[in-house]
Structure 1
Amino acid sequence: MPITEQEIRFLEEKAKKIRKDIIDITGWSGGAHIGGAMSMVEMLTLLYFKVARLDPSQPEAPERDRIVVSKGHGGVGYAAMLADKGYFEFDLLKDFNKFKSPFGMHLDSAKVRGVDVSTGSLGHGLPMAVGLALGARVQKQDWKTFCILGDGECNEGSVWEAAMAAGHFKTTNLITFVDRNRLMIDGQTEEVMSLEPFADKWRAFGFDVREVDGHSFGQLTESIDAALAATEKPVIVIANTIKGKGVDFMENDVRWHYGGLDTDLIARAKDSVDRMAGHD
């Protein structure tokens, strides 16, 4: 699945649009988990606009690939992506996280078109993704499952139970990403609960580990190609990212794990996104 320079330029512009949509939704809602939503934009953009087999007109199609956003608090970014892909009208997100809106802070698969799995209780996404991958195998189906973890949620024991199962059952039809922005709600991951040596932990659980720049479409594509070709071990992509990516006053600042934006900050944030340089 090679990626061309033209595709990279298209995806970079798409990612900028998604980031500005996230900014708008955060402003409308009064507040959202914007930092971690911004850090996973490239992963979601690549999945939804190049890699995953999806049809927004048939969101329940049995042959579709499944996407599990385990870091469900990043729903403001997930919702922006689904709207841009055509699952629903973007203007519906003006009511994001408001009373009686179907769009809660953590997206509900029973209420939001295109969401395969309800997440938000951290540590639950990978176990469900492993189950989906095993289900595809039992049914002799060729669809793939993609799972995006937050690095902070890798404190949860359920993540490692699922990792042990994935390694044991060799779920090579599951491709897992970790949004490794090194920050969580209470501070730096390595101060709250150290994860390092992170890559070695995944290798010990039977994974082939790929470490990449999580904002580089080229590096992400190469890692997915390797995962799609895997036959012996499941692949995990440790995507090194920047929390708040694209907004200069948010980047690497734990205070923007969750935050609100007034009119002036919205304008500043969008201007910063417009000035973003690509990573490829």
Structure 2
Amino acid sequence: MTLTTADAVTFHPTSPTFHHLGGLMSRMTGAEKHGPAASSTLDVLWVLYDRVLRVTPETAEDQERDRFLLSKGHGPMAYYAVLAAKGFIAAELLDTFGRYDSPLGHHPDRTLVPGVEIGSGSLGHGLPLGVGTALGLRAQGLLDPAVWVLIGDAELDEGSNHEAIAYAGAAGLERLHTVVIDNQSATHGWYGGIASHFATAGWSTVTVDGRDHGALFEAFTRPHPGRPHAVVAVVEPKN
């Protein structure tokens, strides 16, 4: 996806749209090597935060909030842009991205950035943390909050994710959701495709165009009683 500043010169926090994100992302420089990693997640992040996740800046500490865990933490520019569009952080803060005195590092830090649930960037940890989060919520009797984890297809090369997928399916973690950004950067791959790997472990699965907002929303909100849910969002191959 090519990001431009068209339709995003002026940012209005009270009425954000997807078209604002290009301008917001253009304010962050210094991590261009991770540009494709960031832009590959932009549509998924927007649909989640705009139409699915039940969390706002005002409810970011509420026990009943939905949890979003960004495991694909390298190249977080799209994540920061969406957080700014939704009012979690000031848009002006984006101009400080990557500076030594900025809270917006090249990997997100949960202790520094409002709305960020986990520190991430070392690949393969987000989904296991999501499993633990879903288990913890269930143990506390908090059965309504949803847990969403965004991972990249290359993260599935990590053994920790295979264990998390197997356990979540066996435990029937219905409130756990995983979105896999498939930009064909995985080293190994799976017979039958990514979705088949989750389905074999007992997950509900769907594969969609990762740039189609309507298809993403339908996939994110598809019922999956008694099972965790995986959405494979296919985007253009990483160059």
TM-score by length of 2: 0.87
What is the SS of the residue equivalent to 1:146?
strand
Note if contact 1:32-1:76 (Cα within 8 Å) is conserved in structure 2: no
What is the SS of the residue equivalent to 1:164?
helix
Say if 2:93 is the partner of 1:99: no
| Aligned residue type for 1:217 | H
Q: Whole-Å Cα distance in 2 between the matches of residues 37 and 103 of structure 1?
A: 14
Say if 2:205 is the partner of 1:209: yes
Note if contact 1:155-1:195 (Cα within 8 Å) is conserved in structure 2: no
Map of 2:112 onto structure 1: 111
Note if contact 2:25-2:81 (Cα within 8 Å) is conserved in structure 1: yes
Report how far residue 14 of structure 1 moved.
Answer: 2.5
Q: Deviations for 1:109-150, whole angstroms, at most 9, x for unmatched residues? A: 011111011111100000011111111111111111111110
| Aligned residue type for 1:233 | R
Note if contact 2:31-2:75 (Cα within 8 Å) is conserved in structure 1: no
What is the SS of the residue equivalent to 1:54?
coil
Map of 1:166 onto structure 2: 168
Q: Whole-Å Cα distance in 2 between the matches of residues 30 and 223 of structure 1?
A: 31
User: Structure 2 stretches of 5 or more lacking a match?
Assistant: 1-15
Matches within 5 A, 1:30-179: 31=32, 33-141=34-142, 142-179=144-181
Question: Which of 179, 188, 193 is residue 188 of structure 2 equivalent to?
Answer: 193
* Large movers: runs of 4+ above 3 Å: 29-32
Map of 2:19 onto structure 1: 16
Q: Whole-Å Cα distance in 2 between the matches of residues 21 and 32 of structure 1?
A: 18
Q: Whole-Å Cα distance in 2 between the matches of residues 19 and 47 of structure 1?
A: 17
User: Structure 1 stretches of 5 or more lacking a match?
Assistant: 1-12, 184-188, 243-251, 255-280
| Aligned residue type for 1:214 | G
Question: Which of 207, 229, 235 is residue 229 of structure 2 equivalent to?
Answer: 235
| Aligned residue type for 1:110 | T
| Greater relative contact order structure (CA < 8 Å, 6+ sep) | 1
Q: Whole-Å Cα distance in 2 between the matches of residues 55 and 66 of structure 1?
A: 11
Q: Deviations for 1:21-74, whole angstroms, at most 9, x for unmatched residues? A: 223313xx3635110211111111111111111121242111110001110013
Q: Whole-Å Cα distance in 2 between the matches of residues 32 and 78 of structure 1?
A: 16
Q: Whole-Å Cα distance in 2 between the matches of residues 23 and 196 of structure 1?
A: 38
| Aligned residue type for 2:48 | L
What is the SS of the residue equivalent to 1:25?
coil
CA RMSD of aligned residues (A): 1.6
Q: Whole-Å Cα distance in 2 between the matches of residues 149 and 38 of structure 1?
A: 14
| Aligned residue type for 1:210 | V
| Aligned residue type for 2:86 | K
Note if contact 2:67-2:148 (Cα within 8 Å) is conserved in structure 1: yes
Q: Whole-Å Cα distance in 1 between the matches of residues 202 and 75 of structure 2?
A: 28
Say if 2:217 is the partner of 1:221: yes
Map of 1:264 onto structure 2: none
Say if 2:31 is the partner of 1:25: no
Q: Whole-Å Cα distance in 1 between the matches of residues 238 and 121 of structure 2?
A: 22
Q: Deviations for 1:180-224, whole angstroms, at most 9, x for unmatched residues? A: 1113xxxxx3xx323443222111111111011111111111112
Report how far residue 156 of structure 1 moved.
Answer: 0.4
Q: How many residues in Structure 1 have an aligned counterpart in Structure 2?
A: 222
Q: Whole-Å Cα distance in 2 between the matches of residues 156 and 111 of structure 1?
A: 27
Q: Whole-Å Cα distance in 2 between the matches of residues 253 and 77 of structure 1?
A: 16
Note if contact 2:183-2:238 (Cα within 8 Å) is conserved in structure 1: no
